[in-house]
């Protein structure tokens, strides 16, 4: 939230959240984003806060 509208790749999010030693799949990020959308968005299928940037990653706002 310190960088509104900045686009974060899955790899960048993994490093920031779980650290550089994370051994899982990058699709883990997608699952967690989906869970966050279910909690934060009025309509998770039409997100306003956690936006997917196709082919790169996600941004907030």
The CATH number of the domain covering residues in 7-60 = 1.10.10.10
pLDDT of residue 37: 97
Give the DSSP per-residue string, 3-53: STT-EEEHHHHHHHHT-TT--S-THHHHHHHHHHHHHH-SSTTS-SSEEEE
CA 60 to chain centre: 8
Residue entry with tokens 């966050």? 36
Quote the CA–CA distance of 58 and 27 in Å, as a whole number. Answer: 13
Mind listing the pLDDT tens digit of every residue in the chain (61 residues)? 677 789 999 999 999 999 989 998 889 999 999 999 999 999 999 999 999 999 999 998 8
Q: Domain ranges in the chain?
A: 7-60
């Amino acid at each position: 939230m310190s960088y509104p509208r900045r686009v974060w790749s899955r790899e960048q999010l993994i490093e920031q959240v779980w650290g550089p030693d994370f051994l899982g799949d990058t699709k883990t990020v997608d699952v967690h984003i989906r869970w966050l959308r279910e909690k934060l968005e009025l309509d998770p299928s039409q997100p306003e806060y956690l936006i997917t940037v196709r082919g790169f990653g996600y941004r907030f706002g």
